[in-house]
Structure 1
Amino acid sequence: MGLRERKKRQTRLALVDAGFKLFLARGYEATTVDQIAAAVEVSPRTFFRYFGSKEDLALDFTVEYDERIMTALAARPQDEPPFTALAHAFREFIHGMENDAAEDAERFLRHRRVIDANPALFCTSFARMADIEKKLTVEIARRQGTDPATDPRPKLLVAFVTSAVRVGMECSVDGDSYLDSLVANVENALNLAEEALRPGWDRPGTPSPEALS
């Protein structure tokens, strides 16, 4: 990145860090945009150059999540079975978090704590994740050469993989080994999901279990 882009990224991350520190110290509802901006020594007007609202800052992680997952899936071989491609994309994402700098891992930890403590944010986060799943469904359907409007397999595949990931992420956000536990749990959940499926079920033209019985 050029100098201008680096400075913009630094300001954005500074706002994110200040926001989450205030959310954890004072509570999400009690924290204002003015307080977040003041903590970074910028004006509220500058804040709104980066985020449309306090909620957008709190859910900024979903933007990076979207970009990383879609990029990882696009990089998978086109002839790879769709389920395998998506599972590996999520593995790349979760191990990418593990390899990130310590401050990035700490940001994710603070994000989890704030979201878990605020039901309204949790619901909005869930809705954003649903939008990401729709984009993944379109990409999987393209890889399969099918129409998700008539073939339920792309949507089912995405729902199955993302559900396994959510189960893997349901671990305690306390303790120094949190990130290690999260990575191991997601890996285990994805492995179990792969073991539960009959090979080839996600390929168009594969006979249904009823047809094989």
Structure 2
Amino acid sequence: MTAPHPGLRERKKQRTREALLRAALELFVSQGYEQTTVDEIAEAVDVSQRTFFRYFAGKEDAAFAVQAMTESHFVRALRARPADEPPLEALRRAVLESWDTIGDAVEQAVPVELHVRTYQLIESTPALLAVHLRRSAHLEEELARVVADREGLDVASDPRPRIAVAAFCGVMRVTGRLWGTGGDSSIASLRTLTESYLDHVGPALAANWQGRAGAARETTAPALKAAPPTRDTAATTRDTTASARHTAASGAAAPQRRDSHPH
């Protein structure tokens, strides 16, 4: 059963929200997050400040609106994965599936280039970066609970869900930064980069990176050749030999001294 199409009123509200979001992000990246006011955002769309607050709790809410949309889409995709999938595979397939289906929604809300520039702004603005890190921690905790529920585990007593999610989210942070600074800002490029890095998680954690070649180098390393003796080393050898002879003679005489003084 298909969902009913939104009515005229809902479509108008959606257009207003998207216009406010786009105006907010454009102002943030052009003149700075701290320098932008809610009044400026509302004025750019020709609405009142009150209208802005009908759609967003504040500037921070607008700055993270696209990210919040993609995160909630991903969590829903993870919950829908087959129950018999291993945790990391379920996380991997869920995020790739979400990128396959979220692209149109992101591009409808804001141009992808603007989304990339917003991500760069978040990474470079201390106030926004602090919020981003806090949000990431909350997302990791939610994902750990979802994974634990899927596996029938207690996330409070079993560390495995949090460990798996931490490894996964670490990859996502790396690929997000690389994507944000790369030349191709398309959703497709983010998906490709994400898939490539996730494919390396298992080998990176479990494999010996040097492999057998490294072990062979250690076992077949050539023995060091002794340096030819010099006058100094020859003299040192003579002194060492004489000292050894003296020590041996002293050791041989010691029992005789003990025998000549019996208790």
TM-score (norm. length: structure 2): 0.69
Tell me whether 35-44 or 123-132 shows the greater mean CA deviation. Answer: 123-132
Contact kept in structure 1, 2:28 and 2:36, CA below 8 Å: yes
Which residue does the alignment assign to 1:205?
Answer: none
C-alpha distance in 2 between matches for 1:176 and 1:83: 29
Shift, 1:98, TM fit:
4.8
1:2 to 7, 13, 35: 7
1:170 to 172, 177, 186: 177
Which residue does the alignment assign to 1:105?
Answer: 112
1:157 to 148, 160, 164: 164
Aligned Cα RMSD in Å? 2.1
C-alpha distance in 1 between matches for 2:87 and 2:181: 35
Q: Give the counterpart letter for 1:45 in structure 2.
A: R
Larger radius of gyration between Structure 1 and Structure 2: 2
Which residue does the alignment assign to 2:134?
Answer: 127
Find out whether 1:24 has 2:32 as its counterpart: no
Shift, 1:177, TM fit:
1.9
Which residue does the alignment assign to 1:63?
Answer: 68
Q: Against the structure 1 CA distance between its residues 176 and 5, is the aligned structure 2 distance closer, same or farther, given a 3 Å change threshold?
A: farther
1:147 to 141, 154, 160: 154
Contact kept in structure 1, 2:26 and 2:114, CA below 8 Å: no
Q: Give the counterpart letter for 1:183 in structure 2.
A: R
C-alpha distance in 2 between matches for 1:154 and 1:174: 31
Which residue does the alignment assign to 1:80?
Answer: 85
Name the count of aligned residue pairs: 198
1:90 to 65, 82, 95: 95
Shift, 1:178, TM fit:
2.4
Q: Against the structure 1 CA distance between its residues 174 and 193, is the aligned structure 2 distance closer, same or farther, given a 3 Å change threshold?
A: closer
C-alpha distance in 1 between matches for 2:181 and 2:167: 27
C-alpha distance in 2 between matches for 1:94 and 1:166: 15
Q: Give the counterpart letter for 1:83 in structure 2.
A: L
C-alpha distance in 2 between matches for 1:183 and 1:120: 28
Contact kept in structure 2, 1:171 and 1:181, CA below 8 Å: no
C-alpha distance in 2 between matches for 1:106 and 1:3: 29
Which secondary structure does the structure 2 equivalent of 1:19 belong to? helix
Shift, 1:59, TM fit:
1.3
| CA deviation string 1:157-196 (max 9, x = no partner) | 1111111111112225467522254333211111111334
C-alpha distance in 2 between matches for 1:175 and 1:163: 18
Which residue does the alignment assign to 1:12?
Answer: 17
Structure 1 residue runs without a partner (length 5+): 199-213
TM-score (norm. length: structure 1): 0.84
Find out whether 1:115 has 2:133 as its counterpart: no
Q: Against the structure 1 CA distance between its residues 91 and 172, is the aligned structure 2 distance closer, same or farther, given a 3 Å change threshold?
A: closer
Q: Give the counterpart letter for 1:22 in structure 2.
A: L
Percent identity, please.
41
Contact kept in structure 2, 1:33 and 1:44, CA below 8 Å: yes
Q: Against the structure 1 CA distance between its residues 166 and 95, is the aligned structure 2 distance closer, same or farther, given a 3 Å change threshold?
A: farther
Which residue does the alignment assign to 1:188?
Answer: 196
Which secondary structure does the structure 2 equivalent of 1:52 belong to? coil
Q: Give the counterpart letter for 2:83 in structure 1.
A: Q
Contact kept in structure 1, 2:29 and 2:118, CA below 8 Å: no
Shift, 1:197, TM fit:
5.3
Q: Give the counterpart letter for 1:75 in structure 2.
A: A
| CA deviation string 1:106-161 (max 9, x = no partner) | 34223213212312101101211211111111110011111011000011111111
